[in-house]
Amino acid sequence: MIERLARILSTVVWVVVAFAVTASILWVSGYSVTEVFSGAVQGAVTAVGAFVSTIRWTIPLFLIALGVTIGFRAGFFNIGGQGQFYVGACAALVVSLGWRAGPAWLVISAGMAAAVAAGAAWSLIPGYLRVRFGTDEVLTTLMMSFIGALVLQYLTAGPMRNPQGTGQTAASERIPDAFRLTGSSGVSAAVLAAAAVAAAAVWLLLERTRFGLSMDLAGRNPTMARWQGINIQKVGLVSFGLAGALAGFAGAVELFGPAARLITGFSPTVGFNAVVVALVGMLSVPGVALSALFFGGLQSAILFLPIVTDVPPPALTLLHGMVALLVTVRLRARRRRASGGPEPVET
């Protein structure tokens, strides 16, 4: 209990430090910190439509971060959420543009299923290499992310390109309106319910099942877990598969929800931000929900800020970086490297 409180405290402290450093950078460069702060509160909560926009940005972060949580809990550094998210969105796009005449409920279900399968497959390639051959998953998931971004670029610039598009960045055709789950706000009862079901399922899996416990044990101490008869390979494959499935699902929700079409390189940092969200949420489902809401609010705030002040939006990337730099401080990394890379920093 004390240990848990200490972890919460240390996480909160380092997030506050990251905010303070970013705020002082804003201050030094001549922006009014109070103005930015009140603008951020307006943009995230109080302004018209602000809270809806916060939720819109929370949902993808939350879903991907749930996947990251599963991976990290089982001791696998699956940081490929970005690519899994992209291929999920791409799969849903291919289904819904390829079957425009289909009944909406069927196309949406098929698109979701394709997205989940594509995301899981994208994650299982590094996952299989990791559990079968001990290939380092940090590298391979990172590589799969880059490949996923190129798949998206290929689809939006090639076969799925909107021929009427005039913009410089390639974009796909829009999916038929009948397939949309939300308006452009990106929030509707269906989407919220889907996120809630995913969250409840992950929570049950991690906290209330034997399998969740064996994941935790494998993450904490693989040797002991193996001695207790846990099949580490199975745990690994399932955790990689589920992480990819959740990220792929997030991609489908993005397409059927707010986006309606895919643009090359959309939400380019959501996968990495989700890792930050998962770590700030301390790898527990309620914690991740809170931290996703918080970072979703920040995203919404930063889009709103230009209305009230002239702070450049990249300030948000800077802040994310600061949080990532500091959030794992003193949190003893539960991680051993596979053979193929150097040992973690040990001092």
Site for another protein in 255-314 (CB under 8 A): 269, 272, 275-276, 279, 312, 314
**Could you say which DSSP state residue 44 is in?**
I
SS3 content of the chain, % helix, strand, coil (to 5): 70, 0, 25
Q: Using CB under 8 A, which of the segments 46-54, 91-99, 110-118, 123-131 binds another protein?
A: 123-131
Whole-angstrom distance, CA of residue 45 vs CA of residue 27: 23
Phi, psi of 2 (to 5 degrees): -60, -40
Q: How many residues bind another protein (CB under 8 A)?
A: 68
The interface mask with another protein, positions 212-251, x = CB under 8 A, is ----------xx--x-------------------------
- Please list, in sequence order, all residues whose beta carbon lies within 8 angstroms of the beta carbon of residue 151, skipping any fewer than 6 positions away: 86, 87, 90
Pull the structure tokens for residue 40: 């951020």
Residue number with CB closer to another protein (70 or 315): 315
Closest to 248 in 3D by CA, of 103, 151, 104: 151
Q: Using CB under 8 A, which of the segments 87-95, 183-191, 238-246, 325-333 binds another protein?
A: 325-333
Whole-angstrom distance, CA of residue 302 vs CA of residue 315: 8
Q: Using CB under 8 A, which of the segments 50-58, 133-141, 182-190, 192-200 binds another protein?
A: 133-141
Residue 143 binding another protein, by CB under 8 A: yes
Closest to 270 in 3D by CA, of 61, 58, 55: 61
Residue 343 binding another protein, by CB under 8 A: yes
String of b and e for 154-186 (b: at least 16 CB within 10 Å)?
A: ebbeeebbbeebeeeebbbbebbeebbbbeeeb
Residue 17 binding another protein, by CB under 8 A: no
CB of 256 to another protein, least distance (A): 25
CB of 116 to another protein, least distance (A): 23
332 in helix, strand or coil?
coil
List the one residue from 63, 79, 115, 181 that touches another protein (CB under 8 A).
79
Site for another protein in 44-73 (CB under 8 A): none
CB of 332 to another protein, least distance (A): 7
Residue 177 binding another protein, by CB under 8 A: no
Phi-psi region of 340 (alpha: psi -120 to 50; beta: other; left: phi over 0): left
Residue number with CB closer to another protein (249 or 295): 295
Residues at the contact surface with another protein, assessed by CB under 8 A: 25, 29-31, 77, 79, 125-126, 129, 133-136, 138-140, 142-144, 146-147, 150-151, 153-154, 157-158, 222-223, 226, 269, 272, 275-276, 279, 312, 314-333, 335-336, 338-347
